[in-house]
Structure 1
Amino acid sequence: MDHLVLTVIAPDKPGLVEKLAQCVAGHGGNWLESRMSRMAGQFAGILRVAVPAEAYEELVQALQALDAQGIRVVVAQSGIEPSCTWKPIHLDLVGNDRPGIVRDITRLLSELGVNLERFTTEVVPAPMSSEPLFHAEALLAVPLGLTLDALQVRLEALADDLMVELKLRPED
């Protein structure tokens, strides 16, 4: 079996996932995992599928043909995951919204060699004041050589500058 990673984006409407699933299953493929979401009228997702080697090219062509229906699919062949050289850490961050907050956080994480495994953000009104609050949740892939304490210290220094509340905990 060959493994593919697909990125999908289309105007949101019922039946999008079913069309993708039909296409994958129709070529003997197996839907392994996915993350999908609707945002601002668009539907986007990333998914990993396995397909028999002999059906690989036909599946890729069928997925690209979905463009005629307004469904853009970008196909990448999945590589082999490297051996685990990181530990999972959950990050929860809340603070006053301002431009550049994602840039500043991700710059620091990148400098420390931390990878984002999952990253979700939103801006919501504060309970009492209705001021915009930025909220981020992430699953971080922290290098084994970086201690949780060292990561906490560096992020807390940044959190003070950004005026955000930050929590780190090992992933369950």
Structure 2
Amino acid sequence: MQTHLVFTVIAKDRPGLVERIAEIIAELGGNWIESSMARLGGEFAGIVRIGIAGERSDELIAELQALAADGIDITLRSDVMGPQELEGVFAHLDLVSQDHPGILRDITRVLSDRGVSIEHLETEVAPGSMQGEALFKASADLRLPPVSPPPR
């Protein structure tokens, strides 16, 4: 039986980091299905989903956790069920605003109150143009809640 594992990785950024993880997965017959990774403030952070034969998953988990000795922190989650079918309509949001403390909380509260799920989110604070004020920029892939048919 195929098992899906989802894990996060955080480490000081350095060349070969992803290769090291990918090598362990490949050696044990695992399949790298999807990932999102980035360098943030000198740290490397990512989330990865892989598929592996169930009888090899414990061995893989042990190998990944052993990376802690090299400063690579892995947090594992098991997803035995595999990916689920998503409901609702896909939408994309690009936002630029003057930055201020709490802006992401305010934006996500509006989305949450309306039942919107965030599937992917990237944010940054960048210098503004003429006046140099900081600008908050966000790009998000969203899943809108399913729409119920109107009552008859």
User: Please, what TM-score do these two structures have when normalized by structure 1?
Assistant: 0.81
State the secondary structure of the residue aligned to 2:89. strand
Instruction: Measure how far apart 1:15 and its partner are.
Output: 0.8
Which residue in the other structure is 1:73 paired with? 74
Work out the percentage of aligned pairs sharing the same amino acid: 48
- What is the distance in 2 between the residues matched to 1:138 and 1:112? 16
CA distance in structure 2 between the aligned counterparts of 1:80 and 1:52, rounded to whole angstroms: 13
Alpha-carbon distance in 1 for matches of 2:135, 2:92: 20
- Residues 77 and 137 of structure 1, relative CA distance in 2, 3 Å threshold: same
Secondary structure of the residue aligned to 1:3 is strand
Question: Could you say which residue in structure 2 is the equivalent of 1:9?
Answer: 10
Partners in 1 of 2:45 and 2:118 — Cα distance? 18
| TM superposition shift of 1:127 | 1.9
Instruction: State the AA in 1 paired with 2:75.
Output: V
Q: Residue 26 of structure 2 corresponds to which residue in structure 1?
A: 25
Q: CA RMSD in A?
A: 1.2
SS in 1 for 2:130: coil
Q: Which residue of 2 aligns with 1:110?
A: 112
SS state at 1:99 partner: coil
Task: Return the letter of the residue paired with 1:22.
Answer: E
Q: Distance in 2 between matches of 1:136 and 1:41?
A: 21
Aligned residues: 146
Relative distance call for 1:29 and 1:81 in structure 2 (3 A) is: closer
Equivalent residue letter for 2:57: Y
Preserved contact between residue 31 and residue 50 of structure 2 (Cα < 8 Å): yes
- Mapping of residues 9-158 of structure 1, within 5 Å: 9-78=10-79, 79-145=81-147
Question: For 2:56, what is the secondary structure of its paired residue?
Answer: helix
Please tell me the residue identity of whatever aligns with 2:54. Answer: A
Contact 2:3 2:82 in 1 (8 A): no
Would the aligned equivalents of 2:65 and 2:73 in 1 still touch at CA under 8 Å? yes
Unmatched segments (≥5 aa) in structure 2:
none
TM-score for the superposition, normalised by structure 2: 0.92
List structure 1 runs of 4+ shifted beyond 4 angstroms. Answer: none
The DSSP-based 3-state class of the residue aligned with 1:73 is strand
C-alpha separation in 2, matches of 1:113 and 1:82: 18
8 Å CA contact 2:4–2:82 kept in 1: the answer is no
Conserved? CA contact 2:64–2:74, under 8 Å: yes
Structure 1 distance, partners of 2:13, 2:31, is 24
Cα deviations across residues 124-150 of structure 1 (Å, max 9, x unaligned)?
Answer: 11122221000011011101228xxxx
